[in-house]
Structure 1
Amino acid sequence: MTAFPSLPRFRRRAPAIARALLATATLLAAAPAALHAQTPAPAPAAVSAAAKTGYAEVDGARIYYQIHGDLASDRTPLLVLHGAFMSGDAMAPLIAPLAATRPVIAIDARGHGRTGDAPGGLSYDQMAHDAAGVLAALKVEKADVLGYSMGAATALRVAMLHPERTGKQVIISGAYRLDGMPPELIKSIASLTPEIFAGSPMESGYKALSPTPDAFPTLVNEIKALDATDFTWSEDGIRAIEGKTMVIAGDNDGTTLEHTIALFKLRGGYDLPTILQGFMTEAPKARLAILPATSHIGIMAEAPAIAAMVTAFLDDKAPPPPAF
């Protein structure tokens, strides 16, 4: 296991959310290489040698992207959006299996990873415009979108603001309202400070990748501001999203179960005719997966199971009929 010299000091002074982030990084340091990619990458070499990388100029920022597979293929590309304090590299456990069947584009959100600090701060609308801007720069007319946590909320916003570029959506541990998170979690995030992360894997990973390595305190404060800004996207707006939706969460996630189920229903899930019929004859408009014994950060350890479910969803596979 990798040793972190400041670990005891960090644990004493960090709020719950920061301790959880560090615990994840510590666990992944001892995990197999396939899972180790979930922690912030120690060096640019962490990107697969098979990936094509570059930058797209969007609204005053150079948004970093990596492409896995051939965008010229006849398969709809999948755009992958990471969570807070992460980068595209951290989504590797999902990217690898999903890229086996379709081209995958992963981006580093503004403020994060190889994109680094950018003017304007963080907002879901801006990150949605950034994602659409990358697709435009790559001449991708339409892509399916998968997002985790911060990236999940961004994926919903991409579908709402840029429907012409959005196909199916996979929403992992994401909310469409700030109060979709427990108030205690919102309060915990508000207590974060840049000093709490001193010497942590999140800080060192940021500095290893970022073109603005001294801007980590800015990122911490921008994420705090993002999660302190009330947002509520209208239910009519959620219903109007084009394309099918898969909602995935842990049974002990950072979004409440009530909120997760509400999102599933708004997207056309829990279809009464199907319920009355007792079986499905075609792929549904919305799918829901609640993973057992799974937390907000722990859900990334379920990448193999999630990738299998997501592949079936993106391929629009109808559920198998019963054997009897």
Structure 2
Amino acid sequence: MKQLASTILSATCIRVFLFLMMINLHIQAQVPYGDNKAAGHYFDNRGIKLYYESYGKGEPLLLLHINGGSMKLFSGQIAYFSKNYHVIAVDSRAHGRTVDTQDSLSFEMMADDFNALLDHLHLKNCYVVGWSDGGINGLVLAMRHPDKVKKLVVSGPNLTPDTTAIVPHVYHLLENMVDSLKELPPTAETRNSIKVLQLDLREPHLRSGQLRTIKCPTLVIGGDHDGIPVEHLVQIYRNIPKSYLWISPNTSHFVATNRKDQFNARIAEFLKQPYRRIEGMDILQ
């Protein structure tokens, strides 16, 4: 029994995978996001074919998804924002339809992918909305290519790969998932899953000083029961010069799906209004 147990994922890991599968199936039943031949395109970039889909017209808005997911998780945002924006949803390197057979994976590589995509689309800059790893990608993009990010929204990002930035039981769950996957036959899918999960166990390594170089207005979002401690999200908010903070009550890491309407409304308001710092006696008004 122990040998058999060592070849499969733990019960907790299975629940996580089933949850993500249910979300993806629910989305696929409603809309073809992530599998839309009319809107989908591939961009050849540094050894991969980066898959993206475009919807709507207006100012460009780039959507960057969670670790282990794909653009399908943003179905509620694509449908909402494509009414007023040119939405560009991307399957990040080694995710979804963007196949990556290379051994290495980093947030810097991903950020450079998105920068190259914007150049390919002849876009001077854009709004960026990133969730979880997508939020980290957004932060790194704003640091490495500051002229490309007009405004930035990050939901549940973290700065370091440890239990100060990811709640301990979630961090250890990631470790257990990788250990369990390593016991499976080394198929291409298994190797890719290990690479993707290990990304969150090894990166990022972002410092407060780097956050202070971000010049664009930024909205930091999280749930009060997020997998990223609220204190860590506050740290990110406090170190980005032009930033706002919104913590959604009674909400997990999945603010974008579990609080879709509020999530979309907060972002829409942020994108439309100029940044305003409240100082001095104005804090009492």
Which TM-score applies when normalising by structure 1?
0.73
Q: Which residue of 2 aligns with 1:266?
A: 239
Tell me which of 8, 12, 16 is aligned to 2:12: 16
Q: CA deviation at 1:304?
A: 1.4
Q: CA deviation at 1:154?
A: 0.7
Q: Alpha-carbon deviations, 1:192-225, whole Å to 9, x = none?
A: 14976xxxxxxxxxxxxxxxxx632122111232
Q: Which residue of 2 aligns with 1:220?
A: 193
SS in 1 for 2:193: helix
Q: Which residue of 2 aligns with 1:98?
A: 81
Q: Which residue of 2 aligns with 1:192?
A: 177
CA contact (8 A) 1:267 1:286 kept: yes
Q: CA deviation at 1:14?
A: 2.5
Q: Which residue of 2 aligns with 1:251?
A: 224
Tell me which of 45, 48, 52 is aligned to 1:58: 45
Please list, as runs of the form range in 1=range in 2, the aligned pairs for 1:77-156 lying within 5 A after superposition.
77-156=60-139
Q: Alpha-carbon deviations, 1:38-64, whole Å to 9, x = none?
A: xxx489944586963211122111100
Q: Do structure 1's residue 315 and structure 2's residue 272 form an aligned pair?
A: yes
Judging changes above 3 Å, is the alpha-carbon distance between structure 1 residues 187 and 247 closer, same or farther for their aligned structure 2 residues? same
2:42 partner amino acid: Y
Hey, what's the Cα distance between the residues in 2 that align with 1:316 and 1:17?
Answer: 41
CA contact (8 A) 1:51 1:67 kept: no
Hey, what's the Cα distance between the residues in 1 that align with 2:248 and 2:151?
Answer: 21
- How high is the sequence identity, in percent, across the aligned residues? 27
Q: CA deviation at 1:228?
A: 1.9
CA contact (8 A) 1:167 1:242 kept: no
CA contact (8 A) 1:79 1:143 kept: yes
Cα RMSD over matched residues? 3.0
SS in 2 for 1:294: coil
Hey, what's the Cα distance between the residues in 2 that align with 1:244 and 1:254?
Answer: 24
Tell me which of 247, 253, 261 is aligned to 1:296: 253
Q: CA deviation at 1:83?
A: 0.7
Q: CA deviation at 1:24?
A: 4.9
1:251 partner amino acid: D
Q: Alpha-carbon deviations, 1:3-60, whole Å to 9, x = none?
A: xxxxxx9xx952535523423544775xxxxxx22xxx48994458696321112211
Q: Which residue of 2 aligns with 1:278?
A: none
Judging changes above 3 Å, is the alpha-carbon distance between structure 1 residues 118 and 233 closer, same or farther for their aligned structure 2 residues? same
2:131 partner amino acid: Y
CA contact (8 A) 1:15 1:191 kept: no
Judging changes above 3 Å, is the alpha-carbon distance between structure 1 residues 238 and 168 closer, same or farther for their aligned structure 2 residues? same
Hey, what's the Cα distance between the residues in 1 that align with 2:10 and 2:179?
Answer: 11
Q: Which residue of 2 aligns with 1:171?
A: 154
Q: Which residue of 1 aligns with 2:145?
A: 162
Q: CA deviation at 1:152?
A: 0.8
Q: Alpha-carbon deviations, 1:208-267, whole Å to 9, x = none?
A: xxxxxx632122111232122143212121011121000110111111111001111111
SS in 2 for 1:117: coil
Judging changes above 3 Å, is the alpha-carbon distance between structure 1 residues 44 and 305 closer, same or farther for their aligned structure 2 residues? closer
Structure 2: 5+ residue runs without aligned partners?
182-186, 277-281
Aligned residue pairs: how many? 266
CA contact (8 A) 1:122 1:226 kept: yes
CA contact (8 A) 1:247 1:260 kept: yes
CA contact (8 A) 2:9 2:180 kept: no
Judging changes above 3 Å, is the alpha-carbon distance between structure 1 residues 225 and 94 closer, same or farther for their aligned structure 2 residues? same
Judging changes above 3 Å, is the alpha-carbon distance between structure 1 residues 288 and 22 closer, same or farther for their aligned structure 2 residues? same
Structure 1: 5+ residue runs without aligned partners?
1-8, 30-35, 197-213, 269-284
Judging changes above 3 Å, is the alpha-carbon distance between structure 1 residues 44 and 183 closer, same or farther for their aligned structure 2 residues? same
Q: Which moved more, 1:124-133 or 1:288-297?
A: 288-297
SS in 2 for 1:64: strand
Hey, what's the Cα distance between the residues in 1 that align with 2:69 and 2:102?
Answer: 19
Q: Which residue of 1 aligns with 2:184?
A: none
Hey, what's the Cα distance between the residues in 2 that align with 1:27 and 1:164?
Answer: 34
Judging changes above 3 Å, is the alpha-carbon distance between structure 1 residues 50 and 93 closer, same or farther for their aligned structure 2 residues? farther
Hey, what's the Cα distance between the residues in 2 that align with 1:243 and 1:86?
Answer: 27
